[in-house]
């Protein structure tokens, strides 16, 4: 029998390389001894060098899949990854608001690893209001924080999100003195800074893996600070041991 605290729900896209999206969420969940349920938000046409296009799922499919999963499972722990458009963001926001899961970790993916942007600037406020405000924890990288908030420094971006109703933010990817720094803020206050060495590996899907790992640690009753720090340490090991490829490394678990 699968216990409810061994279940997470990944709401994310499909990456045909297997390096990110739902496949990586399932790998990380399994590493944490969790079973990963899934709802596909979109399909993508991409490889490790280029991102060609995104193919959104139908909103009806997302709603019906969610409703049918509820017949068998108590859906309490969500990870939200790639969301292809505002309509689906709104649908997911409504599903979260109406079902009130215990923990929602959202990885705000705004562009592909190869640089293709997914949202216009005019859509970002709607994205925040309709979906990101439902997050227990938002996990933007530096680029995503600056893009979402139009602020140049981290603290100003954090305060902007706090004013919108987003209390907990883990900002990743600040490069400083050969290390990658990640900042955890809660209610506008800095809680912790994690530092890991910058490795030479160019990694595919690290943001997906990190946010899913944080969710799994939170399900295991770790504090927000510990869940983020432990996940960063796990990523350091997994990136070091990843599958080597000419273009980008891929997780090996």
Q: Beta strand pairing status for 7-14 and 35-46?
A: parallel
Bridge partners (DSSP) of residue 77 are: 103
Q: 83 to each of 6, 45, 199, 230, how far by Cα in Å?
A: 25, 15, 29, 26
What pLDDT was estimated at residue 246?
A: 63
Q: What is the mean pLDDT of each run of 10 residues along the chain (253 residues)?
A: 82 88 94 96 89 92 96 95 95 96 95 77 93 98 94 96 97 87 97 86 78 97 97 84 70 69
**Spatial distance between the Cα atoms of 228 and 101, rounded to a whole number of angstroms:** 20
Other Cβ atoms less than 10 A from the Cβ of 32: the count is 18
What pLDDT was estimated at residue 203?
A: 63
**Spatial distance between the Cα atoms of 209 and 232, rounded to a whole number of angstroms:** 10
| Structural domains of the chain ordered from first start | 4-240 (3.40.1190.20)
Q: Per the structure block, which two tokens stand in for 148?
A: 């979402």
**Spatial distance between the Cα atoms of 63 and 185, rounded to a whole number of angstroms:** 32
What pLDDT was estimated at residue 22?
A: 95
**What would the pLDDT profile of 108-127 be if each residue is shown by its tens digit?**
988 876 677 888 888 999 99
At which residue do the structure tokens 């068998």 appear? 72
Q: Per the structure block, which two tokens stand in for 113?
A: 């690893």
What is the 8-class DSSP label of residue 249?
B
Other Cβ atoms less than 10 A from the Cβ of 12: the count is 29
- N residues, the chain: 253
Q: 136 to each of 102, 104, 108, 133, how far by Cα in Å?
A: 8, 5, 13, 8
**What would the pLDDT profile of 62-111 be if each residue is shown by its tens digit?**
999 999 999 999 899 999 999 999 999 999 999 999 999 999 999 998 88
What pLDDT was estimated at residue 119?
A: 85
Bridge partners (DSSP) of residue 172 are: 141
């Amino acid at each position: 029998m699968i216990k409810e605290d061994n279940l997470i729900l990944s709401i994310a896209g499909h990456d045909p390389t297997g390096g990110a999206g739902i496949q990586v969420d399932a790998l990380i969940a399994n590493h944490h001894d969790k079973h990963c349920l899934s709802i596909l938000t979109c399909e993508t046409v991409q490889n490790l060098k280029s991102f060609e296009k995104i193919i959104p799922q139908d909103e009806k499919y997302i709603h019906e899949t969610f409703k049918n999963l509820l017949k068998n499972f108590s859906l309490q722990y969500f990870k939200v990854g790639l969301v292809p458009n505002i309509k689906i963001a709104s649908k997911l926001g409504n599903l979260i608001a109406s079902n009130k899961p215990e923990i929602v970790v959202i990885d705000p993916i705004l562009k592909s690893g190869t640089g293709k942007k997914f949202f216009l600037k005019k859509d970002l406020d709607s994205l925040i209001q309709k979906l990101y405000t439902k997050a227990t924890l938002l996990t933007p990288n530096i680029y995503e924080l600056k893009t979402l908030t139009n602020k140049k420094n981290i603290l100003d971006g954090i305060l902007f999100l706090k004013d919108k109703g987003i209390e907990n933010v883990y900002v990743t990817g600040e490069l400083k003195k050969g290390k990658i720094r990640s900042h955890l803020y809660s209610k506008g206050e800095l809680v912790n800074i994690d530092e890991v060495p910058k490795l030479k590996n160019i990694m595919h899907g690290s943001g997906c893996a990190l946010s899913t790992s944080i969710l799994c640690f939170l399900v295991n009753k770790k504090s927000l600070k510990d869940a983020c720090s432990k996940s960063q340490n796990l990523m350091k090991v997994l990136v070091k041991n990843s599958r080597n490829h000419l273009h980008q490394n891929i997780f090996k678990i």
